[in-house]
Amino acid sequence: MLPNHSQLLLFVSAAALLIVIPGPTVLYIIGRSIGQGRSAGLVSVLGIHVGTLIHVAAAAVGLSAVLMSSALAFSAVKYLGAAYLIYLGVQKIRSRESFEFTGPVALVSLRRVFGQGVVVNVLNPKTALFFFAFLPQFVDPGRGHIPLQIIILGLLMIAIGLTSDTVWAISAGTVAQLLRRNQRWMNTQRYLSGGILISLGLATAFAGSSSKK
């Protein structure tokens, strides 16, 4: 139920580039690692990606229901998703992100760190919207088994995220100090990730329109 090789390569490349760039969850992980040690950072990684599993399951159920109700509605979701990706890219470029922490992280048990990681991600509406916008771009209704396609793509994204976030958690202290002093790098990653989102949105929108002809 995987996409064809070119689509799979596009998905993995886009997902990897998007995930590697620091975002709110990465800042949360690094904050935990710096404030409470690598163990807390790694546990927060696990919690966040358990939360991601919930988003993937919700996307599989919700998008499958849309497809079953109307192929036209599913196409509309894809185009709206492409537009949302472009919007996120523009917002990313316009943002002025800072890699600063407001204060020390309170010391809590690893069980609570895990639970907080789950809650942080599950209650983040932007994560849900991102999955609803990103995953349908790589789903082929002609292959059938829409929920399975979405789940497989979601699990691939989680695997990439786990790898990237684990590296951030382990190297948090050094990375945080370097990035705090390197505003040029922060500006570069902002334009890079924003450009990727815009390009992906445009590519999937035009691919969708050409496939209808």
Report the pLDDT averaged over residues 93-100: 64
Q: Is 96 exposed, middle or buried (0-12, 13-18, 19+ CB in 10 A)?
A: exposed
Question: How far apart are alpha carbons 15 and 54 in whole angstroms?
Answer: 18
Question: How far apart are alpha carbons 86 and 197 in whole angstroms?
Answer: 6
Report the pLDDT averaged over residues 148-174: 88
pLDDT at 181: 62
Query: pTM score, two decimals?
Result: 0.69
The CA radius of gyration of the chain, in Å to the nearest whole number, is: 18
Answer yes or no: are the C-beta atoms of 47 and 122 closer than 8 Å. no
Rounded (10°) angle between helices 146-170 and 5-20 = 40
Amino acid, single-letter form, for residue 52: T
Answer yes or no: are the C-beta atoms of 178 and 171 closer than 8 Å. no
Place of tokens 């809650």: 119
Answer yes or no: are the C-beta atoms of 135 and 59 closer than 8 Å. yes
The closest alpha carbon to 45, from 176, 159, 166, 126, belongs to 166
pLDDT higher than 90, residue 49: yes
The model's confidence at residue 12, banded by pLDDT at 50, 70 and 90, is confident
Report the pLDDT averaged over residues 109-115: 87
pLDDT higher than 50, residue 174: yes
pLDDT higher than 60, residue 101: no
pLDDT higher than 50, residue 211: no
Question: How far apart are alpha carbons 52 and 85 in whole angstroms?
Answer: 18
Report the pLDDT averaged over residues 30-47: 85
Question: How far apart are alpha carbons 210 and 79 in whole angstroms?
Answer: 13
The model's confidence at residue 210, banded by pLDDT at 50, 70 and 90, is very low
pLDDT at 102: 45
Segments making up each domain of the chain, as ranges: 5-211
For the ranges 65-74, 99-108, 117-126, the lowest mean pLDDT is seen at: 99-108
For the ranges 45-49, 50-54, 183-187, 196-200, the lowest mean pLDDT is seen at: 183-187
Question: How far apart are alpha carbons 45 and 34 in whole angstroms?
Answer: 14
pLDDT by residue (tens digit) across 56-65?
Answer: 888 888 776 7
pLDDT higher than 60, residue 98: no
